[in-house]
Chain A
Amino acid sequence: MEHLITSFTTLLQPLPLALLFVGVASGIIIGSIPGLTATMLITLTLPLTFFMDSVNAITMLIGMYVGGISGGLIAATLLRMPGTPASIMTTFDGYPLSQQGKAARALGLGITASFIGGLISWAFLAVLSPPLAHLALTFGPWEYFTLVLMALVMLASLSQGSMIKALMAAALGMMVHLPGVDPSLGQMRLTFNVENLEGGLSLLPVLIGAFAVSQIFKDIIIIDREPPRVSLDRKGMVISFADLKKYGINFFRSSCIGTWIGLLPGIGANIAAMLSYTTAKNVSREPEKFGTGHEPGIIAAETANNASVGGALIPLITMGIPGSVVDAILIGALIMHNLEPGPLLFTTNPEIAYGVITAYLIGNIMMFGIMMFSVVHIARMLYIPRAYLLATILLFCIIGVFAVANRFFDVWVMLLFGVLGFIMERTKMPLGPFVIGFVLSPIAEMQLRSGLMASDGSLTPLLTRPFAATFFAVSILSLLWPAFIQWKNQRNAIH
């Protein structure tokens, strides 16, 4: 409690507050523009955070995370174009409601839902993180290895599309991290006598290439797509207390679903929104109204996607395991600032761990204020000519990556991964497992090798250590469950 109060005192200073505001505002703007995502913004901002104090850097990035997830609802509601993948479910009811002349109401519901989801998941984050970090201190190499395995397999099994391709993406991400020095033995491997590979492939060029550059080229292909003009005013945007009471159960249920899904390693806001929306529809007395501009649909989707942000931060700060793809990038940010993600963060750098918790709360409050007062103006950003926007981002990618280590090898790597990311998306190979595989590969390898050394090469601890056995069992189940469901459906179809 004392650390939390200290953290609030630290954050409520002009500079951190200003950086948090900049983060939230830029996240909302970028999140609102279809084709640009919070992931891209955070990745592009990483080079700039080199020059900041660690707490301020993480504060700003958390602000971008909160803003980016929330901003997606603007284009989803007004244009039926989700600003971010997390807002796909919002298009189902947000857009039809706006077409009925109630755009302000739809946005007001979405913004309020985002805020409440953020608040409730903050409560879970603040209450659960310290004891979970304490528990994680008892984890050994087998627990960490199986936790990483579970994250990768669950992400692959829940990815939209082919599970085989998602597993391939994860394996590819892990392979990409292999060249360089073997961390255990100091042995050079897979460098193929290329001097520049001796230091391995840096995180930033790979991330910026895979997410930002590939997205830019995808947007260039459809550059002629112009969003339809929509008029909007703020009348009817503020939600009444009666509405809060009417939808109270939906708010709470969706927040819990979002937080829980976010807590599961590797799974992000779009899955949380999907599950929450489906649940709301299934328990509703009027399920046929979902998809026609039904208000509970907007509430379920937006509450859950924002709540998942708080949930995803829990494994990040307690165990150093990303709760989502964005969290994988935040792990990269922590490493870049010479911080070791994991349960020791609460002991060695409590200002960072508690800083994340307080930044998330204040960021949500700022998000609510900014969106309620400025959504009409932010909506105008949807019409910035792509020719200017994409060229600027591309230039920034090149400079940002060069700035990491002042070498053009990184820029060429960025371009290569831009091509790879583009090919992966075209062939429906998801990028999420690739990035998580890349970020978690060194942890997985180190923990497996440490575990085997401690057990003299035996794999028995996988089954005898309770947490490791549980994570391993969940991994196997996640791998086999989709195949079982498919077999069952095929059998039912035959009968």
Chain B
Amino acid sequence: MKKQVDPKSDIILAIGMIIISAVVYIGAMELPPPRYEPLGSGAIPKGLAVIMAVLSVFLIIRALPHLKTFEGNHDEITDVTPRPLLAAIIFGLTMLFIAVLDFEILSFMPAAIIYMTSIGYFLTHRNLKRMPYYFAFSVVMVVGNYYLFTKVFYIDLP
């Protein structure tokens, strides 16, 4: 059975792109008019914003007739249970890790070991029996990368 494209997601995508186009167009309007050349700084941003907006409108027009008739695709993934919440948790932990380093709350090694161990806890489905191995793996990875980047490549890590 041929997969249909979800019209709702197309419409949301198109609206998002129209918003981005509007932001770019408004930002480009503040640029001074061209003086030494035909186009100037603002022409390309405005042109791209208009093209994007037009394409987005086409997408909405194409999606609207299918809104009522779309039955929904059978889930692409059928052999395993998808885990979007797990991905969201890992994403949150990653943001937290970056924030801890950015605001200099902890230095790289302790922060990274805690981060790797935490995501390992969730990626192994909170299996506490595997945690000692994962903790050891995290320490090796973090310390190894730290020495690789600071001593071999001479890059300062936080």
Contacts and interface: CB of A to CB of B under 8 A. Distances in A.
Interface stretch (A2-10, A114-122, A180-188): A180-188
A48 B102 CA distance: 22
A217 B123 CA distance: 11
Chain B, interface SS category: helix
Interface string B63-82: 00000000000000101111
Interface residues of B, number: 65
B119 A394 contact: yes
B106 interface: no
Contacts of B137: 388
Given A221-B86, A387-B123, A403-B155, A408 B116 contact: no
Contacts of B156: 406
Contacts of B95: 415
A399 B157 contact: yes
A386 interface: yes
B41 A182 contact: yes
B95 to A, nearest CB: 7
Given A391-B120, A426-B9, A223 B20 contact: no
Interface string A272-311: 0000000000000000000000000000000000000000
A189 B27 CA distance: 8
Contacts of A164: 55, 58-59, 62
B35 to A, nearest CB: 9
Interface in A122-138: none
A171 interface: yes
Nearest to A166: B55
A390 B123 contact: yes
Given A178-B45, A457-B38, A220 B86 contact: yes
B5 A162 contact: yes
A411 interface: yes
Interface string B94-129: 110110011000000000100110011001100000
A397 to B, nearest CB: 9
Nearest to B153: A51
Contacts of A481: none
Interface residues of A, number: 58
B133 to A, nearest CB: 9
B82 to A, nearest CB: 5
A408 B98 contact: yes
A387 B122 CA distance: 9
A51 B120 CA distance: 31
B157 A395 contact: no
Contacts of A221: 77, 82-84, 86-87
Given A175-B45, A391-B120, A452 B32 contact: no
A167 interface: yes
A190 interface: yes
25 contacts: A164-B55, A165-B13, A168-B17, A168-B55, A175-B24, A217-B87, A217-B90, A217-B91, A221-B86, A387-B124, A391-B116, A391-B138, A392-B141, A394-B94, A395-B141, A398-B94, A398-B97, A398-B98, A399-B145, A403-B149, A412-B102, A426-B9, A453-B37, A453-B38, A457-B38
Interface of A: 48, 50-51, 162, 164-165, 167-168, 171-172, 174-175, 178, 182, 184-185, 187, 189-190, 192, 217, 220-225, 386-388, 390-392, 394-396, 398-399, 402-403, 406, 408, 411-412, 415, 419, 423, 426-429, 445, 448-449, 452-453, 456-457
Given A391-B120, A403-B153, A419-B91, 14 more contacts: A175-B52, A185-B36, A185-B37, A185-B41, A189-B28, A189-B42, A221-B82, A222-B82, A391-B141, A399-B145, A406-B156, A408-B98, A415-B94, A449-B39
